Amino acid sequence: MFTDTDIARIGEGVIARTLPKPEWTHAAHFAAAVWLLTRPHLDAFRDMPGLIRAYNEATGVPNTDTGGYHETITLASLRAADAQLAARPNATLSSALAELLAGPFGRSDWLLAHWSKDRLFSVEARRRWVDPDLMPLPFN
C-alpha cells in the first residue's frame, strides 16, 4: 500500500501544508501519525493537533464545532498507531502501517465500536479528549 517514502511524503506534506487535499484520507491520517511518532524532534501527541488544524486551514477546511480538527479522533488514532509501533519495534514504517490498516483500525468507522455516534461527534469530543462510552480501547 504505502512505502516508507510515501509515508514520509505524507508526514512532510502535512507539516508543510502541501499534501494535496484529496490525498488526506483515513489511511493517510495513520501514515502521518506513524511518521510523526517516529520523528525524534517531534512529540506527535503534542504537535499533531496543531499540524492538522494548520493543514485544514491551508486546504480551506475550517476548524469548527462541526468540522475540521477533532481531538478525540486524533488522539485515539495516535494511540492506535503508537500501540502498533510499540508492538513491532523493528518493523519498517510501511509494514507497521500495512498491518495497522489491515486490522480493524483500517476501517474508517473503527471508532464507533468504542464510542456511540452521539458521543464521538459531540462538540465536546471535537474540542477535547472524551473517553469511550461503549468499549475501552485495546491499548492505553
pLDDT at residue number 77:
97
pLDDT band, residue 1 (cuts 50/70/90):
confident
Residue 138 within any structural domain of the chain: no
- Mind listing the pLDDT tens digit for each residue in 60-118? 999 999 999 999 999 999 999 999 999 999 999 999 999 999 999 999 999 999 999 99
Which three cell numbers, joined as nine digits, stand for 134? Answer: 461503549
Contacts of 113-116 spanning 24+ positions with Cβ under 8 A: 114/76, 115/72
Residue 35 within any structural domain of the chain: yes
pLDDT band, residue 130 (cuts 50/70/90):
very high
Domain that holds residue 51: 4-127
- Mind listing the pLDDT tens digit for each residue in 9-58? 999 999 999 999 999 999 999 999 999 999 999 999 999 999 999 999 99
Positive or negative: CA dihedral 90, 43, 83, 107? negative
Q: How far is CA 32 from CA 100, 114, 132, in A?
A: 13, 22, 23
* Cβ-based neighbour number of residue 74 at 10 Å: 21
Residue 137 within any structural domain of the chain: no
Which three cell numbers, joined as nine digits, stand for 52? Answer: 492538522
Residue 88 within any structural domain of the chain: yes
If one counts the domains in the chain, the total is 1
